[in-house]
Amino acid sequence: MRLVLLGPPGAGKGTQAGLLATKFGVPHVSTGDLFRTHVAEETPLGLEVREYLSGGELVPSELTVALVAERLGTADAARGFVLDGFPRSVVQADALATILTGLGKRLDRVLEFRIDDEIVVRRLLARGRTDDTESVIRHRLRVHHEQTESLLAYYAGHTAVIDALGEVEDVARRVLDSLGE
Ligand code: AMP
CA distances from 145 to 27, 85, 89, 135 (A): 27, 14, 10, 15
pLDDT digits (tens, 9 = 90+) for 107-117: 999 999 999 99
State yes or no: pLDDT of 149 exceeds 80: no
Residue to substitute in 4, 29, 35, 148 for testing ligand 1 pocket (most ligand atoms within 8 angstroms of CB): 35
For the ranges 111-115, 142-146, 165-169, which has the lowest average pLDDT?
142-146
8 C-beta closer than 6 A to ligand 1 = no
Q: Is residue 95 part of a domain?
A: yes
Q: Is residue 13 part of a domain?
A: yes
Q: What one-letter code names the amino acid at 151?
A: L
Nearest-CA residue for atom 5 of ligand 1? 32
How does residue 131 score in pLDDT terms, banded at 50, 70 and 90?
Answer: confident
Q: Is residue 68 part of a domain?
A: yes
Q: Is residue 142 part of a domain?
A: yes
pLDDT digits (tens, 9 = 90+) for 47-65: 999 999 999 899 999 999 9
The domain of 17 spans 2-176
What CATH number corresponds to the domain at position 64? 3.40.50.300
Residues in Cβ contact with 27 at an 8 Å cutoff, skipping those fewer than 6 apart: 21, 71, 76, 77, 81, 82
- Total domains in the fold of the chain: 1
**Nearest residue to 164 via CA among 110, 113, 109, 111:** 113
What is the spatial distance between Cα 1 and Cα 101, in angstroms, rounded to a whole number?
16
Q: Is residue 75 part of a domain?
A: yes
State yes or no: pLDDT of 72 exceeds 90: yes
Q: Kind and range of the H or E element at 99?
A: helix 90-103
pLDDT for 79: 95
**Nearest residue to 120 via CA among 4, 44, 21, 7:** 7
pLDDT for 61: 95
Q: Is residue 181 part of a domain?
A: no
Q: Residue 56 C-alpha to ligand 1 middle, in angstroms?
A: 8
What is the spatial distance between Cα 106 and Cα 128, in angstroms, rounded to a whole number?
36
The string of DSSP codes covering 133-178 is SHHHHHHHHHHIIIIIHHHHHHTTTSEEEEE--S-HHHHHHHHHHH
| pTM for the predicted model, two decimal places | 0.94
How does residue 157 score in pLDDT terms, banded at 50, 70 and 90?
Answer: confident
Nearest-CA residue for atom 19 of ligand 1? 86
